Chains A and B, each alone.
Chain A
């Protein structure tokens, strides 16, 4: 029988259940993350405006560039400041 060496990072797939979506947004702080794609700021800005009109607390964030993952400090900031996040994934 042939024995071979594992070419992967040997990470067993750990599936973590997603957090349940909140039934209502009342009382929650909503984060909006602009990933710096073209015109994402326009669309997300309008979304923030409409959510605020409905009385929600909204905090807006932006990645420095769409080409790299969000910096750790930004991810930590978002995680500590808001309850839910809306992220624009592409243009």
Chain B
């Protein structure tokens, strides 16, 4: 920690040249230096103020930090090592009170507000807190070797998902934690498979590595909380041989505040918030929970979304209520919904102009998830593109009507799904001839509107074979500051 020694008695002033009020008050500092014991610390230009010959260079800002300066100029009076008076900005009456001298600054205006101090500027304050050992961060410190490449070092330690990580320095983690009001040591939950505690701080470290901005952190925290809810069955989602991983859908005002993409290429690359929020969640599972591929993660193929799978719903132009509202969150609130899903299967329909035809198109495509012979199958999220939603809207179809129609149209005769039917051994052995079999559980479909304004290309995100209460159910959590 830096050793800061202050004079035990007398006046102290902290100034910077890049402050018009300090420049205004510079002659007064010269006057005080002649009339009393004054020590001036300068934050930016060691040559300022010229009026005080014995000024002290505090461009390292150690004295300013120690004195908790927030505004310059600040004038302080010390007696026997204790601060007894303080004022900031230029205010003649105040400077006379603090200095105990009358008639200072004749000819200057009576008062002028000061400027922000250098030591509390964003980026600077974090560096000072690290230097003074005041971060309050609990995580183990790891000192990289002098000749070690930082990016390679993170790969070597096994923390990466395969892509480069941002080194989680103390300064970066402190800045990340400014994205939330939550206490860094608050326990968010126990992460499988190790059931290891994830604190806000641990999640922030992984969010730094993922490339998040501090303002994304509340969304990451909500997503972690959501996957750790018991109904999501994160352990099973991780451990299964099937393709699935957490898919994160974001609703509410935070989408636009942090610049998420709900429009063209919403499920693709190129948007920092979409990309890094989903990645941070996966890094928490990997690093805090110990869930690594070919270890507890037993996925046969996995899917590219296990790097990151996060997008926003396009609520503004939709005729439907947002997914979060449908799932019980108040309108206008921000929320995340997590779904154990995989990949993207297209629904290409450029010819349907009436909702019945389009719904049939959707249903036929939905029947094919996993295997057209597997029914009941898994849950599914349908990402409806704007041009398809327009067709339902024009006909006045509510979300409820679309759900009801899709459920009805995806029922199949038992004869079609029994083992051996269509010359395929796979199938539902419990299906009774003469009956109809549901492809989806009653609440097994979710509609989300997203995508560019051109293109009649919706998409299906298939779920886990163990969808629903016996495996994973979607979970929605409000995003809290």
Contact = CB atoms under 8 A, between A and B. Distances in A.
Interface size class of A (residues with CB under 8 A): 10 to 19
Given A11-B196, A67-B471, A4 B144 contact: yes
Given A7-B288, A65-B466, A67-B233, A2 B169 contact: yes
A3 interface: yes
A68 B143 contact: no
Contact of A11 (B137, B144, B194): B194
A3 B202 contact: no
B280 to A, nearest CB: 10
Contacts of A8: 159, 287-288, 290
A50 B94 CA distance: 96
For A1, A6, A67, A69, which residue has the most chain B Cβ atoms within 10 angstroms?
A67
Contacts, number: 83
Given A2-B150, A67-B471, A7 B236 contact: no
A47 B440 CA distance: 36
Contacts of B170: 3, 5
A68 B137 CA distance: 33
B445 to A, nearest CB: 20
Nearest to A38: B429
B221 to A, nearest CB: 15
Interface residues of B, number: 39
DSSP majority for the A interface? loop
B10 interface: no
A3 B140 contact: no
A4 B167 contact: yes
Contacts of B470: 65, 67
16 contacts: A1-B146, A2-B144, A2-B167, A3-B170, A4-B167, A4-B168, A6-B139, A6-B141, A8-B159, A8-B290, A9-B194, A9-B196, A9-B287, A9-B289, A65-B471, A67-B240
A56 to B, nearest CB: 31
A83 interface: no
B235 interface: yes
Interface string B227-250: 000000101100011000000000
B228 to A, nearest CB: 13
A7 B144 contact: no
A10 interface: yes
A75 B205 CA distance: 34
Contacts of B233: 67-68
Contacts of A7: 139, 159, 168, 202, 205-206, 209, 283, 287-288
Interface in B281-309: 283, 287-290
